[in-house]
């Protein structure tokens, strides 16, 4: 397994090996699925769209519907106007969405296709059916990562759809960030439990975690409606979760509709969930109900019960920046020692943030943004860890390193199912994480320890 990887780490200038990120459009496609009755459209060659749909499908095990402009050589030379017009005509007559959310690919970016101009022409030619919306985001993959793409499409929702009517309503806006549907649902449950009134977008719960009913729905019941997104312009504030995925849209909303925003981390682990719950409480001007405090108490109880198995354990973590930062915070809260922390998405803020969380004790830790899994693996080989946390691709490292305990976390998870249904955010999600981590550590011990140390009770 990965047997050309050695403990010798060299800085590479040009070659990316085993990336810890992917490209913008997949994130844009995912965000667009969080609008009700919306069809994501990929403007470029069809391969990108096929790849993005396939990968999202592998992660969610759900239908992921999207269309493409299917560029061939001609469009690549003369531009994609004809393809776009034909695509939109087909989409509105065959699939009848309320919104078509277009994102670019590297190809249409390099060509320099002007999407607003194309939309304008489509509209002026009378081809846009009444009441339908076109929105777009530029998502060049030679910048940022899939997280950037998600942020760009969320920002496009604000840019195209949010409006300020002048009447501020008693609701705030919630931007959930690049979360799984189960996590989005949990975020809503917590906020609603606190008694908040809010509009959340994008919202992929009930879109990508649908039930089996024997009926396929092109547009499942979930997703934020155009009306809801529009009304975000009248919200009294925005609560944005995650600097990378949500802040750009929050800023845009502030700029466009004068809605001030507050930024918190994704509610992963104790401290970050506390901050989220507290922010919602303040915005909703209410009190945190006993039920949620009880959940918090259960988490603390679990943390203290399991502390002996976690204390000072060395951990390697990789994933998306908005996820990894609160996760590192949580690992520190659990008394664990994150020693290698990697995200593929570029951004210096990541390193500063994680270093702060690690404090002086973590001065020797490797913390890197814009890094890949080959480097992470080399570091692990040179300075071994007790636990690896990251997306499915981590399983190759885990196996190469003598079945290193491995907890799947983040995007994508291609080989297990729990993430589809059970959240990792909020206090309950944190409990699931603790259970996952202790299971991984104890399973290894149970499989490998000498028989005399094999224990019935732990």
Partner 1 sequence: MTSESYRFTPDPDRVREEMLKPYPAKTRKKREKQIVLNDPDSPPAIGANARTIPGIITQRGCTYAGCRGVVIGPIYDIVHITHGPVGCGYYSWLTRRNLARPAPGQTNFMQYCMSTDMQEDEIIFGGEKKLAAAVREAYALFQPKAISIYATCPIGLIGDDIHAVARQASEELGINVFAFSCEGYKGVSQSAGHHIANNGVFKHIVGRDDTPADGRFRVNILGEYNIGGDAFEIEELFARCGITLTATLSGNVSYDQIARCHTADLNAVMCHRSINYMAEMMETKYGIPWIKVNFIGAGSTAKSLRKIAQYFGDKALSDRVEMVIAQEMQKLKATVDEVKPRCEGRLAALFVGGSRAHHYQDLFQELGMRVVGAGYEFAHRDDYEGRAVLPTIKVDADSRNIEELEVEPDPVRFKARRSPEQLEALKAGGFTFSDYEGMMRQMDKQALVIDDISHHEMDKLIELYRPDVVCCGIKEKYVVEKMGVPCKQLHSYDYGGPYAVFTGAANFYREIDRMVNTRVWKMILPPWQKHPELGARPVFSPKPRKTRETAAAAADGKGRPARSRSARLEAIEPTGEPTC
> Nearest distance from residue 306's CB to ligand SF4, in Å?
41
The answer to whether the beta carbons of residues 238 and 399 sit under 8 Å apart is no
> Nearest distance from residue 257's CB to ligand SF4, in Å?
31
Q: Which does 304 bind (CB under 5 to 8 A by kind): partner 1, ligand SF4, none?
A: none
Q: Does 304 bind partner 1 (CB under 8 A)?
A: no
End-to-end CA distance of the chain: 32
Residue closer to ligand SF4, measured from CB, 29 or 257: 29
The answer to whether the beta carbons of residues 48 and 25 sit under 8 Å apart is yes
Residue closer to ligand SF4, measured from CB, 141 or 424: 141
Strand order in the sheet with 198-200: 198-200, 172-175, 237-241, 261-264
Distance CA 279, CA 285 (A): 10
Q: Does 51 bind ligand SF4 (CB under 6 A)?
A: yes
Q: Does 447 bind partner 1 (CB under 8 A)?
A: no
346-355: long-range contacts (C-beta < 8 A, 24 or more apart)? 346/144, 346/145, 346/370, 347/244, 347/321, 349/243, 349/321, 350/321, 350/324, 350/325, 353/325, 354/324, 354/325, 354/328
Tell me which of 7, 78, 95, 435 binds partner 1, using CB under 8 A: 95
Residue closer to partner 1, measured from CB, 105 or 205: 105
Coil vs helix vs strand at 426: helix
Q: Does 141 bind ligand SF4 (CB under 6 A)?
A: yes
For this structure, is 110 an active site residue? Answer: yes
Torsional class of 403: left (φ above 0), alpha (ψ -120 to 50), beta (otherwise): left
By CB under 8 A, the residues from 391 to 410 that bind partner 1 are 393, 396
> Nearest distance from residue 383's CB to partner 1, in Å?
19
159: Cβ–Cβ under 8 A, 6 or more apart, which residues? 135, 252, 256
Tell me which of 67, 105, 145, 273 binds ligand SF4, using CB under 6 A: 105
Q: Does 107 bind ligand SF4 (CB under 6 A)?
A: yes
For this structure, is 106 an active site residue? Answer: yes
Q: Pick the stretch among 42-50, 195-203, 268-276, 450-458 that binds ligand SF4 (CB under 6 A).
A: 42-50
By CB under 8 A, the residues from 145 to 174 that bind partner 1 are 145
Q: Which of 38, 77, 110, 199 is catalytic?
A: 110
Q: Does 181 bind ligand SF4 (CB under 6 A)?
A: no
How far is CA 207 from each of CA 97, 117, 187, 191, 204, rounded to the nearest angstrom? 14, 31, 16, 20, 5
By CB under 8 A, the residues from 118 to 147 that bind partner 1 are 140-143, 145
The answer to whether the beta carbons of residues 303 and 270 sit under 8 Å apart is yes
Q: Does 62 bind partner 1 (CB under 8 A)?
A: yes
Q: Does 25 bind ligand SF4 (CB under 6 A)?
A: yes
Q: Does 263 bind ligand SF4 (CB under 6 A)?
A: no
Distance CA 106, CA 377 (A): 29
> Nearest distance from residue 71's CB to ligand SF4, in Å?
8
Q: Pick the stretch among 8-16, 154-162, 248-256, 435-443 that binds partner 1 (CB under 8 A).
A: 8-16
The answer to whether the beta carbons of residues 193 and 263 sit under 8 Å apart is no
Q: Does 14 bind partner 1 (CB under 8 A)?
A: yes
Q: Does 54 bind partner 1 (CB under 8 A)?
A: yes
Give the max Cα distance, the chain: 80
Q: Does 87 bind partner 1 (CB under 8 A)?
A: yes
Distance CA 27, CA 33 (A): 10
DSSP state of 185: H
By CB under 8 A, the residues from 205 to 244 that bind partner 1 are 210, 212-217
Residue closer to partner 1, measured from CB, 89 or 298: 89
Active site residues: 106, 110
In the complex, the residues that contact ligand SF4 under the rule CB under 6 A are 23, 25, 45, 47-48, 51, 105-107, 141
């Amino acid at each position: 397994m990965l047997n050309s990887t050695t403990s010798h780490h060299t800085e590479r200038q040009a070659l990316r090996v085993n990336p810890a990120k992917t490209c913008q459009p997949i994130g844009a496609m995912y965000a667009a699925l969080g609008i009700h009755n919306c069809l994501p459209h990929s403007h470029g060659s069809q391969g990108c769209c096929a790849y993005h749909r396939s990968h999202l499908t592998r992660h969610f095990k759900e239908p992921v519907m999207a269309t493409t402009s299917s560029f061939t050589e001609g469009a690549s030379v003369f531009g994609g106007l004809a393809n776009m017009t034909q695509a939109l005509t087909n989409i509105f007559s065959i699939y009848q969405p309320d919104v078509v959310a277009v994102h670019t690919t590297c190809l249409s970016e390099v060509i320099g296709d002007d999407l607003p101009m194309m939309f304008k022409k489509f509209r002026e030619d009378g081809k846009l059916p009444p009441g339908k919306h076109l929105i777009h985001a530029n998502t060049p993959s030679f910048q940022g990562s899939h997280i950037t793409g998600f942020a760009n499409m969320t920002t496009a929702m604000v840019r195209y759809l949010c409006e300020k009517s002048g009447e501020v309503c008693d609701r705030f806006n919630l931007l959930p960030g690049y979360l799984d549907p189960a996590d989005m649902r949990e975020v809503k449950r917590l906020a609603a439990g606190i008694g908040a009134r809010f509009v959340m977008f994008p919202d992929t719960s009930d879109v990508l975690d649908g039930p089996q009913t024997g009926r396929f729905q092109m547009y499942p019941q979930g997703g934020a409606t155009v009306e809801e997104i529009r009304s975000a312009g009248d919200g009294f504030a925005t609560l944005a979760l995650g600097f990378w995925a949500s802040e750009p849209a929050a800023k845009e909303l502030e700029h466009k509709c004068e809605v001030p925003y507050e930024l918190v981390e994704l509610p992963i682990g104790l401290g970050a969930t506390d901050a989220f719950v507290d922010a919602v409480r303040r915005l909703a001007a209410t009190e945190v109900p006993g039920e949620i405090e009880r959940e918090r108490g259960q988490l603390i109880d679990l943390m203290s019960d399991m502390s002996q198995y976690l204390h000072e354990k060395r951990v390697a973590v990789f994933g998306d920046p908005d996820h990894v930062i609160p996760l590192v915070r949580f690992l520190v809260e659990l008394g664990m020692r994150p020693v290698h922390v990697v995200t593929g998405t570029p951004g210096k803020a990541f390193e500063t943030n994680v270093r702060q969380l690690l404090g002086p004790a973590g001065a020797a830790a490797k913390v890197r943004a814009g890094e890949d899994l080959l480097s992470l693996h080399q570091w692990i080989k040179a300075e071994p860890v007790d636990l690896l946390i990251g997306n499915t691709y981590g399983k190759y490292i885990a196996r190469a390193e003598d079945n290193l305990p491995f907890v799947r976390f983040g995007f994508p998870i291609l080989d297990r199912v729990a993430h589809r249904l059970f959240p990792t955010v909020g206090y309950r999600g944190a409990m699931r994480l603790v259970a996952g981590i202790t299971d991984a550590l104890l399973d290894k011990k149970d499989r490998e320890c000498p028989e005399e140390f094999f224990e019935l009770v732990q």
